[in-house]
Copies of this chain bind each other. A is one copy, B any other.
Amino acid sequence: MDDTSSVGIVNTQSFTFAESPNELPLECGRNFGPITLAYETYGKLSPAKDNAILILHALSGDAHAAGFNHPHERHPGWWDIMIGPGKAFDTSQYFVICSNVIGGCKGSTGPSSINPQTGKPYALSFPMVTIHDMVNAQRALIDHLGIDQLLCVVGGSMGGMQVLQWVVSYPERVRLAIPIATTSKLSSQSIAFNEVGRQAIQSDPHWKEGEFYGKPIPRRGLAIARMIGHITYLSEKSMHQKFGRKLQDKAEYGYDFRADFQVESYLRYKGDHFVDRFDANSYLYISKAMDYFDLAQPYGSIEQAFANVKAKFLVISFSSDWLFPSHQSKEIVSACRRVGAEAIYTEIQTDYGHDAFLLESEQLTSLITNFLTHGRKEAS
């Protein structure tokens, strides 16, 4: 690892709140607690507490966004290209927080967590959570950290949905918002892909209505869900460039049902690998939270949702992203402008598809660095 630009070794921390009787009210109508959120921080909170940036992750992300949890970790955190000294989220200037979501399986309370009342995992007795619930839980964390106002909230994909929900739910507490490769409501097509992934998990005989803990897990169902997702994160062109019709370890077609093409082996690998690091029930809950996301719905329109927004926006989409296509970002920008909120919009030209938010670090860095520098100055 490059020592000068890495945050180095970091510990994932956790914060527990909403303990009885002060449970968190959820959108589904239930009150729920206790809730633990896993989070990491990088850099130092300024004495004025005005340099905090909250990073929000996508479906399968976690709190470990940068650096290494131990010296022999093979890969750094999931957005390490963006977080560190001198990077877009410059930890020599900013206090960067990455919070995991409720419903997850990476140290936060979710369906695989032990229900203290029964001593067993919640499984499907875990309440359905929404993007709004995730954000309410993060607000408790931000309170706990003693931060009144975040300099910036930022995230891609489902992280971007949380960004939008933050500025709508807590307009006084966000100065700058960077929703990337996201949407103000999940499209019919995206709901459809999520639903097929859930069907794959729920059709796996090992799923057992979610009661698989301590038993064989629904590996194949979860792997299939991940494979479907993975195809939607890439573009036709990036798949063509990366794999084309290249064969896997053979000179000619095998004429059997083993993997002939590299793209098949790659997807199988991605699916298998995911199963070892993610909980099948969390996949169900979090994908459902995405389906439910419709920022305008409780307000009647996106303009009314944005009516009290104070934040300045930098909205970024990617030209080849067909899961969250640019027109969905443009809708957000138009709505901002109609209510008088400042919004800068950039569509980055790239072949990487939806995954570009994890890959296009150079262009993202330039855009975000400028936006943060100007935004911070204007506010101070």
Contacts and interface: CB of A to CB of B under 8 A. Distances in A.
A189 interface: yes
A242 B188 CA distance: 9
A208 interface: no
Contacts of A212: none
Interface stretch (A46-54, A167-175, A260-268, A330-338): A260-268
Contact of A191 (B227, B245, B256): B245
A260 B203 contact: no
Given A224-B196, A224-B200, A191 B261 contact: yes
Interface of chain A, helix or strand or loop or mixed? helix
Interface residues of A, number: 57
A251 B343 CA distance: 34
B29 A255 contact: yes
A340 interface: no
Contact of A236 (B198, B255, B325): B325
A239 interface: yes
A205 B187 CA distance: 32
A236 B327 CA distance: 12
Interface of A: 27-29, 124, 127-128, 185-189, 191-193, 195-196, 198-200, 202-205, 220-221, 223-224, 227-228, 231, 234, 236, 239-240, 242-245, 253, 255-257, 259-261, 263-264, 267-268, 271, 284, 288, 291-292, 294, 322, 325
Q: Which 10 A-B pairs have the closest CB atoms?
A: A28-B255, A203-B220, A188-B239, A128-B255, A188-B243, A195-B264, A189-B236, A196-B227, A188-B263, A189-B239
